[in-house]
Structure 1
Amino acid sequence: MNKIILGVAFFALTVNVSAQTMKETIGKHFLIGAAVSTRNIYSQDPKVKSAIVDNFNAIVAENCMKGEAIHPEENRYSWGDADATVKFAEDNNMVVTGHCLVWHSQAPRWMFKDNDGKTVTREVLIDRLYHHITNVVSRYKGRIKGWDVVNEAFEDDGSYRKTPYYNIIGPEYFELAFKFAHEADPNAELYYNDYSMSKPAKRDAVCRLVRDLKAKGCRIDAVGMQSHNGIDYPNLNDYEASIDSLAACGVKVMMTELDINMLPSPQHFGGADISQRFKYDKTLNPYVNGLTKSAQKLFNERYLAFFNIYAKHKDQISRVTLWGVSDADSWLNGWPVPGRTNYSLLIDRKYKVKPVVKDIIKLFK
């Protein structure tokens, strides 16, 4: 009898321990995910796969579904890496988000020019946009939960970013893109995604976009606040206000590209525009051998501050996605200054979960 009781107690303890993961606790309230690279997907290192499937219930392709990768020529698509990413998710019971259909950066290089190198007409670009969105979304119909339809289309002051899509088509390209995506997969969720969303002017512009799309009969399910955060930005009150403002527009809110930049910022750096590049300077790379105790303390405090907000607003949030699996995979090692060593994510370079995750999990128990 004693043996049976001990066995039951041990089993209960085992179940309890196994449940202490982000996907088992945070995942009860909203999706918790990571951006994965093709290197992650094809990796033969069991630690990499375990880091992904043990901690997350959702993934997004970091690069392989962007226009330049998936549609390199007008009449040629490159499906291999995207197919492998979706299959990885399906094999491991994970939700996939498609990223992204319309973005001025990393767009198909042929999209905006004709054979003579001249800018295409409005009609031609709309036709190309239609076929790109239709073919990509249709291929994964029923397999991808939702799509970042338009990405980074506003400046921080709330004005339209003067992208080729805007310059050639005009602001109608938002409506067209969302309608093309919906027609290709009527059951897929559709999102708008942008950085610096805590800035009031940008927040207001995106709220106007959401209301405008809804008024025109477009489906839009959520807005992604990219959340490329730092140790002293964004202002937490403004950040939280954006969650409330977007939710008030009748959409869910997603933290789509979460990380914390632990390194000093170069002069004139801001936002998350990938075109920014700065020269390497060792004063901008102070933690080559690891974070100091004070820096680690700040890292823990910042992540807890953001997840405190997510716990408070869990009914308004549908997904939190970290932008990368581990510190080794983070884009912040090479941007906006190449060659640095950053510590921006919740899994370290050895693919071990960082201690602060236990404290984050407690917020949701």
Structure 2
Amino acid sequence: MNKFIFLILPILIFSGTQSKAQQKLTLKEAFKDKFLMGVAVNRYQINQSNQEETDLIASQFNALTAENDMKWMYIHPEENTFNFEQSDKLVELAQKNDMFVVGHTLVWHSQLAPWVFKSNNGDTISNEELNGRIKKHISTIVGNYKGRIDAWDVVNEALEEDGSYRKSPFYKIGGEAFIEKAFQYANAADPGAELYYNDYNLITPEKRNGAIRIINNLKSKGIKIDGVGVQAHWSLNEPSIEDIETAIKMYSETGVKVMFTELDISVLPSPWNAPTADVSVSFENNPTMNPYPNGLPDSVQTQLAKRYEEIFKLFNKHSDKIGRVTFWGLHDGLSWKNNFPIRGRTDYTLLFDRGMKPKKAFNAVINTVKD
């Protein structure tokens, strides 16, 4: 009996050593031969206000996206005023840590400055005037970061759920051509930057087909588009792995890269029948919609880890088609899903908890590479 214990003891010690080494493996190291691992950062992180957060960003990720600071209302608040302070700091942070930078986003109907569609006397501007404003906006911003920002979400969320064009002021004034113009202006300002179309619910057949129509239309006219950004605001059950895989294959067949640009997995019940990211919608909070205010049960932690594992196994399978995976937030405490679509909820969507410690989901994602 004593001899048996002596024989297995080295095995147990070796096993423990492997576990500690595995925990030290970072996301960017684990996936370095597959695709970029990115994170969206807020203003405080761009300003490096919390050293622990800065260290976590630098150690785990190799791509950066500004969560809000490069949207029109912040970077171009008045017609002749551009504010590059925060985006300059984003680029500095990325360059310091050898990170890929994504400019998010150039043309989007939300978080706009109030002057964009109005003349000096308050009337709605013409299509010609709109094109001029879009050109100035894109040419100035992209030109300012030529060679320093690697890629741009040129147009964001231009589709309705049925795949038709969203009836935003951009579309009502400029028709579908505003998308073509935006990509042309971005390419002219920095021919070396990658250009993407970005949207949510791009796994559903109708909206997926709408995005493919945009891609094919641009390509048919010789207008540069390098990738499609699939905002992966998903849940524990939707969309299915099969539907995600179908979308990856169909987007790839158009000749563009596939990016999963805003990945988070909500563990909370949804007031909708399907996940979405329409920031204009909200619902009332109640205990049924906020079941885990004091912490996530271990059984749900396991569910979340399993879901991330299934997703990343699929991503690994199609890593030749995928350019980047970006998490929408650094840790659970910063996830926008704590307040959307119901304010005041407690969600647990990301790989790091509120104390910035790796969760079961983190280890599950790392293990997909080791497996």
Range of TM-score over shorter length: over 0.9
**Could you give the per-residue CA deviations for residues 223-254 of structure 1, whole angstroms, max 9, x where no partner exists?**
01101001221122111100000000000100
Equivalent residue letter for 1:99: H
Q: 1:279 — aligned with what? A: 284
Say which of 134, 158, 173 aligns to 1:168.
173
CA distance in 1, matches of 2:231, 2:214: 17
Does 1:107 find its partner at 2:112?
A: yes
Matches within 5 A, 1:285-300: 285-300=290-305
Say which of 131, 141, 149 aligns to 1:136.
141
Tell me if structure 1 keeps the 8 A contact 2:30–2:366.
Answer: yes
Aligned-pair RMSD on alpha carbons? Answer: 1.9
4+ residue stretches of structure 1 with deviation over 4 A?
Answer: 15-19, 267-270
Equivalent residue letter for 2:90: T
Q: Scaled by the length of structure 1, what TM-score is found? A: 0.93
Tell me if structure 2 keeps the 8 A contact 1:27–1:57.
Answer: no
Matches within 5 A, 1:243-322: 243-267=248-272, 270-322=275-327
Say which of 308, 325, 330 aligns to 2:335.
330
Q: 1:38 — aligned with what? A: 43
Unaligned runs of 5+ in 1: 1-11
Query: How far 1:364 moved relative to its partner?
Result: 1.9
Query: How far 1:161 moved relative to its partner?
Result: 0.5
CA distance in 1, matches of 2:344, 2:164: 33
**Could you give the per-residue CA deviations for residues 167-202 of structure 1, whole angstroms, max 9, x where no partner exists?**
001111111000000000000000000110111111
**Could you give the per-residue CA deviations for residues 22-61 of structure 1, whole angstroms, max 9, x where no partner exists?**
1001132110010000111224332111211111011100
CA distance in 2, matches of 1:283, 1:148: 36
Distance 1:118 1:270, change over 3 A: farther
Unaligned runs of 5+ in 2: 1-16
CA distance in 2, matches of 1:30, 1:123: 40
CA distance in 2, matches of 1:199, 1:108: 31
Tell me if structure 2 keeps the 8 A contact 1:65–1:100.
Answer: yes
CA distance in 1, matches of 2:226, 2:57: 26
Query: How far 1:286 moved relative to its partner?
Result: 1.0
CA distance in 2, matches of 1:214, 1:304: 35
Distance 1:179 1:108, change over 3 A: same
**Could you give the per-residue CA deviations for residues 95-124 of structure 1, whole angstroms, max 9, x where no partner exists?**
110000010011222111112221101110
Equivalent residue letter for 1:53: A
Query: How far 1:271 moved relative to its partner?
Result: 1.4
Q: Bigger CA drift: 39-48 or 215-224?
A: 39-48
Identity among equivalent positions (%) equals 46
Q: 2:205 — aligned with what? A: 200
Tell me if structure 2 keeps the 8 A contact 1:269–1:276.
Answer: no
Tell me if structure 2 keeps the 8 A contact 1:138–1:184.
Answer: yes
CA distance in 2, matches of 1:153, 1:132: 18
Tell me if structure 2 keeps the 8 A contact 1:262–1:343.
Answer: yes
Say which of 70, 77, 82 aligns to 2:82.
77
Q: Bigger CA drift: 206-215 or 65-74?
A: 206-215
Query: How far 1:267 moved relative to its partner?
Result: 5.0
Q: 1:229 — aligned with what? A: 234
Q: 1:28 — aligned with what? A: 33
Aligned residues: 355
Does 1:146 find its partner at 2:147?
A: no
Tell me if structure 2 keeps the 8 A contact 1:32–1:56.
Answer: yes
SS state at 1:364 partner: helix
